[in-house]
């Protein structure tokens, strides 16, 4: 794939229709998706809309906004098959859902009316959005799209964490938050990982406090200013940090990371703003 691409507008509405039809193919005979799959369908539609909005704020071209829209829509396409096969969203206990998503795209007609270039970018966005780090060898156009999707995905997941606890959805279906234990301190391995300056890994997640600490640590990995601004405006990071007050070491780390995020927001010129895939 070349470093610079001439990307035409995508047929986004038909793609969304095919995606929703694909998701609904997992419904029970009564036409309803199970709660975990419905959660992922709703999440995908929110990420789609937010990706387009953030891309527009970043000054991406209309064609690149279409790519952002489509990548947000498709990023979790592997989750439905993962849930059907393994009854979990925990990749460590099942399969890498990004890799599985690329298999799903190859086996379905979701990308059939897209040109090879945009289709390749969308496959990379699906494959790489959930990796702990963006692969170093990824070409610039794909890297720009992957970074945007990763950032917006984290924004919505951080919202879901607290909403699922407050609404009681997590208590009714612990699979929503990877079957973690509601009580208990953050794991020592996770605290050490975050203290060392890295983003938290799901490999160390055992408790709800772990998930919250991972969520705050994501602020280190987010580079799109509009996403950081949304985190602050919606109070998401403050909410997650506040829930860790009963765990002094983890809470201190969360406060420190929020201070670092504030510093980045106050120096927006220091942020790396990804150009659209057409110009990356």
Stated pTM of the model: 0.92
Domain at 12-150, CATH from 2.60.40, 1.20.120, 1.10.20, 1.10.3210: 1.10.3210
Close Cβ partners of 142 (under 8 Å, ≥ 6 residues apart): 1, 120, 121, 124, 125, 128, 277
Counting Cα atoms < 13 Å in the Cβ hemisphere of 132 gives: 11
Per-residue pLDDT of the chain (280 residues; tens, 9 = 90+): 334 455 667 899 999 999 999 999 999 999 999 999 999 999 999 999 999 999 999 999 999 999 999 999 999 999 999 999 999 999 999 999 999 999 999 999 999 989 999 999 999 999 999 999 999 999 999 999 999 999 999 999 999 988 888 898 888 888 888 889 988 999 999 999 999 999 999 989 999 999 999 999 999 999 999 999 999 999 988 888 999 999 999 999 999 999 999 998 988 776 666 788 986 6
DSSP 201: P
Retrieve residue 279's tokens.
């110009």
Phi, psi of 147 (to 5 degrees): -60, -45
Q: What residue spans define the domains of the chain?
A: 12-150, 180-270
Question: Please, which residues bridge with residue 181 across strands?
Answer: 207
Q: How many residues does the chain have?
A: 280
Task: Name the E strands within the chain.
Answer: none
What span, in angstroms and rounded, lies between the C-alpha atoms of 83 and 210? 22
Q: With H, G, I as helix, E, B as strand and everything else as coil, classify residue 205.
A: coil
């Amino acid at each position: 794939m070349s470093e610079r691409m001439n990307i035409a507008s995508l047929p986004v509405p038909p793609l969304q229709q095919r995606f929703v039809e694909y998701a609904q193919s997992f419904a029970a005979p009564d036409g309803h998706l199970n709660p975990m799959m419905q959660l992922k369908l709703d999440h995908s539609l929110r990420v789609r809309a937010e990706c387009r909005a953030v891309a527009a704020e970043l000054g991406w071209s209309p064609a690149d906004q279409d790519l952002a829209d489509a990548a947000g829509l498709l990023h979790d396409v592997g989750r439905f098959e993962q849930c059907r096969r393994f009854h979990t969203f925990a990749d460590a206990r099942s399969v890498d859902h990004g890799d599985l998503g690329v298999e799903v795209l190859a086996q379905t007609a979701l990308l059939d009316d897209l040109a090879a270039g945009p289709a390749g970018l969308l496959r990379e966005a699906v494959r790489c959005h959930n990796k702990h780090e963006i692969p170093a060898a990824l070409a610039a156009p794909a890297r720009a799209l992957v970074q945007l999707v990763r950032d917006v995905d984290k924004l919505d997941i951080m919202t879901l964490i607290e909403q699922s606890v407050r609404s009681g959805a997590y208590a009714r279906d612990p699979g929503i938050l990877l079957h973690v234990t509601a009580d208990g301190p953050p794991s020592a391995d996770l605290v050490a990982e975050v203290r060392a300056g890295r983003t938290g890994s799901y490999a160390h997640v055992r408790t709800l406090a772990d998930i919250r600490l991972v969520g705050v640590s994501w602020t280190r990995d987010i580079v799109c200013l509009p996403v950081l601004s949304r985190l602050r405006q919606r109070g998401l990071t403050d909410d997650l940090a506040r829930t860790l007050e009963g765990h002094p070491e983890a809470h201190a780390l969360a406060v420190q990371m929020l201070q670092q995020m504030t510093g980045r927001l106050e120096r927006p010129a220091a942020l790396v703003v990804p150009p659209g895939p057409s110009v990356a």
